[in-house]
Amino acid sequence: MSESFDSVYPDFLRAGLEKLNQLDAQQELPALFAALEHFRHDLHAQDSVKGILSVSQSYIGGLNLFSKTGFWTVSTKDFSFDLAHAGNEADGVILQNFVDGQVKTGRFAFALRQGTPVFFLLGNQSDPERGVLHSLAISTQVMGMFCGLLRREVAPAQEVAFSLLSTLLGVSADALATLRRTRQLTSQIETLQSLLPVCAWCKKVRNDSGYWYQIEKYITANSKTKITHGICPECEDKFLKPT
């Protein structure tokens, strides 16, 4: 599956949120639910972390909340957090600096334990930038962290937009967890398929149907390898040299 992503449904979120401020807001709710349903579909059509996060970023962009967004994922090897996706390289550098600062203050660790946005201020105290940390988690399993810098202007229906943000990130975390489980299962299956049962006594090989073959016959039947016979130095000394 290609990591490029193109869909009209992020715009549905944007249009729906704008119209929630109008009197006919209830008529826009079906469009929002449709957008969320298509979001789930678009996520699970991806087969890579970058693909999932690219889709998530596109839909979150439809909330009109952030000027910059980035996603950090947890390494299964050492449980460190690595920047996995940002709008562009420059945004990634800026956001990484902000995240490093929040790690030092302890707010990053605090945000990991929450299921809601955690806000922080950056820069000049008289006119600071506002940022948001939000965990990517399902149940007790943390898949990563989202960081976004808020726009200066207030977004339409901002409270609803932040609720939708939590929903979108929860679905994203679920897609990441599903992808991880799928890869683990695939790896286990490949490992099992690579195991070759060999009799410890006669060295015959068992095939998938449970039949036992001489190893030479098995290799010839299951590969392009042709068997030739020789004798190793140890066997030559043991069996051929005169005593």
- Residue 117's alpha-carbon distances to 5, 9, 156, 186, 235, in angstroms, are 26, 23, 17, 34, 71
Same domain, 115 and 221: no
Same domain, 170 and 235: no
Same domain, 136 and 215: no
**199 is a domain residue:** no
Burial (Cβ within 10 Å: 0-12, 13-18, ≥19) of residue 145? buried
| CA 182 to centroid of chain Cα atoms | 11
Same domain, 154 and 220: no
- Out of 41-45, 115-119, 171-175, 213-217, least confident range: 213-217
Amino acid 72 reads W
**85 is a domain residue:** yes
pLDDT digits (tens, 9 = 90+) for 157-189: 788 888 889 999 999 999 999 998 888 888 776
Q: Is the pLDDT of residue 74 over 80?
A: yes
- The per-residue pLDDT for 19 is 55
Q: Is the pLDDT of residue 9 over 60?
A: no
Contact by Cβ (8 Å): 133, 111 = yes
Q: Is the pLDDT of residue 8 over 60?
A: no
- The per-residue pLDDT for 199 is 86
Query: Phi/psi class of residue 52: alpha, beta or left (left: φ > 0; alpha: ψ in -120 to 50)?
Result: alpha
DSSP state of 27: G
Direct distance between the N- and C-terminal alpha carbons of the chain, in angstroms, rounded to an integer: 67
Same domain, 185 and 227: no
Tell me the sheet residues that pair with 85.
71
pLDDT digits (tens, 9 = 90+) for 193-223: 677 788 888 888 887 778 888 888 877 777 7
Report the CATH number at residue 154: 3.30.450.40
Q: In whole angstroms, what is the distance from residue 166 CA to residue 135 CA?
A: 9
Contact by Cβ (8 Å): 134, 116 = yes
Band (91; pLDDT cuts 50, 70, 90): very high
The three-state secondary structure class of 111 is helix
- The per-residue pLDDT for 225 is 76
Band (23; pLDDT cuts 50, 70, 90): very low
Amino acid 24 reads D
Average pLDDT over residues 133-147: 91
Same domain, 25 and 113: yes
Query: Is the pLDDT higher at 24 or at 171?
Result: 171
* Parent domain of 17: 9-190
Tell me the sheet residues that pair with 201.
none
- Per the listing, tokens 């299962």 go with 185
Same domain, 209 and 174: no
| Inter-helix orientation angle 29-44/49-61, to 10° | 160
Average predicted confidence (pLDDT) for the chain: 82
